[in-house]
Amino acid sequence: MRVLLIDDDKLVCISLKTILETEEDIEVVGCGFSGNDAIELYDKLNPDILLMDIRMKGVTGIEAAETILTKHKDAKILFLTTFSDDEYIVKALKIGAKGYIIKQDFQCIVPSLRTVNTNQNVFGDDIVSKIPSLMNNSKSIDFSRFDITKKELDIINLVAEGLSNKEIALSLFLSEGTVRNNITNILQKLDLRDRTQLAIFYYKNKLS
């Protein structure tokens, strides 16, 4: 996969490039140090994934991502940042970023890039745990367009709240086996990989 790196800390950018290029399936096609660099280099290089910091002087990562996604609707943007601010999490979800991971979780960067390259979303565990509390005032949505039934939507709601299969079964008066089978069917319908992907799908659609 071809990756474009953007971080206003040049040392971080160079270090990331060195680390990523030890992977046989990753090529760093460019490095930039500002939001403007991200916009210009994305147009020029057309990478598979843009790995970008959020807080940068001038044009921020969020602003650059919005500009890029307006022009390139299929752009895969993964935010890598030291900040897990609530405002940034919601904005990253709302604009359609593929992921948001914390720099301290260094070992997650390469697996996250590979996940995003398959067109899946990836958010760090500490980010996912914050999302339910941020969605309290978001709108209700109609999932019928995804061929999701009322029972399946009830299960999705509880998965998104972080409940286990056993807890969902108790809440909906179902067996654990029924819950497990329904989740499998839901993931197949939505072409998602796991429960975390399902939760992110749910919240992104509530924000859209």
125 confidence band (pLDDT: 50, 70, 90): low
Helix, strand, coil percentages for the chain (3-state, nearest 5): 55, 10, 35
Q: What is the pLDDT of residues 138-149, one digit of tens each?
A: 555 667 788 898
Please report the pLDDT score of residue 187 as a whole number: 93
Is residue 113 pLDDT above 90, yes or no?
yes
The whole model's pTM is what?
A: 0.68
- Tell me how far apart the alpha carbons of residues 208 and 16 are, in angstroms, rounded to a whole number: 32
Amino acid at 125: D
CB 62 within 8 A of CB 94: no
How far, in Å, are 19, 68, 81, 101, 139 from residue 109 at the CA level?
Answer: 10, 22, 11, 8, 32
- The mean pLDDT of the chain is 86
Of the chain, the percentage scoring pLDDT greater than 90 comes to 49
Please report the pLDDT score of residue 47 as a whole number: 97
**Residue closest to 132 by CA, chosen among 191, 208, 206:** 206
Q: What is the pLDDT of residues 55-85, one digit of tens each?
A: 888 899 999 999 999 999 899 999 988 766 6
CA 158, 115, 88, 208: dihedral to nearest 10 degrees? -60
208 confidence band (pLDDT: 50, 70, 90): low
Q: Domains (ranges, CATH) in the chain?
A: 2-124 (3.40.50.2300), 135-207 (1.10.10.10)
Give backbone dihedrals phi and psi of 60, rounded to 5 degrees, phi first.
Answer: -80, 170
Is residue 137 pLDDT above 60, yes or no?
no
- Interval 106-115 mean pLDDT: 88
Q: What is the pLDDT of residues 3-44, one digit of tens each?
A: 999 999 999 899 899 999 999 999 999 999 999 999 999 999
